[in-house]
Amino acid sequence: MPKENCSRPAMLVSAPSSGQGKTTVTAALARRHRLDGRRVRVFKCGPDFLDPTILEAASGAKVYQLDLWMAGEDGCRDLLWRAAREADIVVVEGVMGLFDGNPSAADLARLFRLPVMAVVDSRAMAQTFGAVALGLASYRPDVRVCGVLANRVAGESHAGLLRESLPAGLDWYGSLRRGPDLELPSRHLGLVQAAELSDLEDRLDRLAGELAGEGAARVPPQVEFVPGSGPAPPRLLKNVRLAVAKDAAFSFVYQANLDLLAEMGAGISFFSPLDDDRLPQGSDALYLPGGYPELHLERLSANHGLIADIRAFHEAGRPILAECGGLLYLLRSLARGGQSAGMVGLLPGSAVLSPGLRGLGLMSARLPEGEIRGHSFHHSELDMDLEPLVGAVRQDGRPDRRENVYRIGGLTASYLHFYWPSNPAAAAKLFLPFSRRL
């Protein structure tokens, strides 16, 4: 049966730069539309794990990442189409500034004809607000900026000045006041996870309330969404029982990855390395994603039952994939702020958290199973006494000698967060016994 196109109101929320408050505004818009009775689907542009947790709470629906390099144009197109079929409005949060990066949020807007709403941090700004908006709207004729929202305004009179400065042809989407009650807290890798904010629902409702005035929560223009043309993934993981770590220490998981595993036939069981002392019974493969193990050193180190279970799982030759935080968990030790703790000890190395970034960027790994794309983003420094299986390759084709993939038996570990839909067959092989990888 052919897949039909569908049209829905949609927009991309962007800004002149990072730090303008895109996530706060996108969350406010999603909650406002939801309170107004609309079904909202939200996407995050780029490889981000933290913002989506806030956006999921605001919208009440799963949030997927849109990245043209990792997912490809067809993959992004299909994700948007699937969301549009079940939503009344589609909102995409951009990354960095509108025209920053390659590919940029503007490139995404151009490809899928998404109108752009610009968020501008308006502190210490009056009529120049209109000039910034005009510059964004006129910089690229193939990108349509339809309106602007003023963030962090001082009050109603300030918002009025900003609105009056807008040139003809740009809609006013409202404003948000500045104040601690309307900000979302952050830490070294970005925003605090939604599950850690006990007052998140109240914050989101306050933000939505700020957008209850004239011009706010304006329904954006209609966009026609077209289904992707890619084939359904092969069911290579039929009858594979996969244990996936999921808790406050291990939460950096692409929803698209989990969807792909299920589509390929895997049965998924979640467990908590913080609270569970055994792996899920009958597991055939183990996935340890990224997260914040450095914030839970004592509890992870003290869970001797699970550590013994993981060691036995590895000794039995079963497949294990560990990404970033999962890699740190499998080391001999992990240290942060003068505190060090023993970890699982499957990898002959240690790591120390540092105040600055130690790895960042879109990358791929050319594994024996095939090339898989993903990204790196970490603050830890690794000291590993093991020759790498392969080194990572940056988006532009240059090798990155700091970001390596390691392998011991059935264990594959790396700082890279893999986006498995970039190569479903290769991803499936990582969770298969070696006898089934041929």
Closest by CA position to 13, among listed 217, 152, 189, 236: 217
Residue-wise pLDDT for 346-388, tens only, equals 999 999 998 877 778 899 999 999 999 999 998 899 999 999 9
Higher pLDDT, 261 or 361: 261
How far apart, in whole angstroms, are the C-alpha atoms of residue 413 and residue 415? 7
156's CB contacts (< 8 A; 6+ apart) are none
**Which structure tokens are listed for 12?**
């991309």
Amino acid identity, residue 414? S
Among residues 45, 76, 146, 324, the one annotated as catalytic is 324
Strand-pair partners of 116:
12, 145
Listed by start position, the domains of the chain span 6-225, 241-436
pLDDT at 354: 86
Banded pLDDT at 435 (limits 50, 70, 90) = low
Is the pLDDT confidence value at 177 over 60? yes
pLDDT at 178: 87
Is the pLDDT confidence value at 320 over 50? yes
CB 313 within 8 A of CB 422: no
Higher pLDDT, 20 or 190: 20
Is the pLDDT confidence value at 1 over 70? no
Residue-wise pLDDT for 198-207, tens only, equals 778 998 999 8
Is the pLDDT confidence value at 78 over 90? yes
Residue-wise pLDDT for 136-162, tens only, equals 999 999 999 999 999 999 999 999 999
What is the rounded (10 degree) CA torsion for 257, 432, 410, 370?
Answer: -60
pLDDT at 345: 98
Average pLDDT of the residues in 55-69? 96
CA gyration radius for the chain? 23
Is the pLDDT confidence value at 194 over 70? no
User: For the chain, what is the mean pLDDT?
Assistant: 92
Is the pLDDT confidence value at 214 over 80? no
Instruction: Indicate the pTM of the whole model.
Output: 0.92
Is the pLDDT confidence value at 337 over 60? yes
How far apart, in whole angstroms, are the C-alpha atoms of residue 232 and residue 367? 23
DSSP 46-86: SS-SSHHHHHHHHHSS--EEE-TTTTHHHHHHHHHHHHHHH
Do the domains at 6-225 and 241-436 have one common CATH topology?
A: yes
How far apart, in whole angstroms, are the C-alpha atoms of residue 386 and residue 389? 9
Higher pLDDT, 73 or 354: 73
Does the domain spanning 6-225 belong to CATH 3.40.50.300?
Answer: yes
Is the pLDDT confidence value at 187 over 50? no
Per the annotation, the verdict on 146 as an active-site residue is: no
Residue-wise pLDDT for 264-303, tens only, equals 999 999 999 999 999 999 999 999 999 999 999 999 999 9
How far apart, in whole angstroms, are the C-alpha atoms of residue 207 and residue 230? 39
Of 111-115, 322-326, 377-381, give the lowest mean pLDDT range: 377-381
Amino acid identity, residue 256? A
**Which structure tokens are listed for 372?**
């898989």
Is the pLDDT confidence value at 193 over 70? no
CATH class in words for 241-436? alpha beta
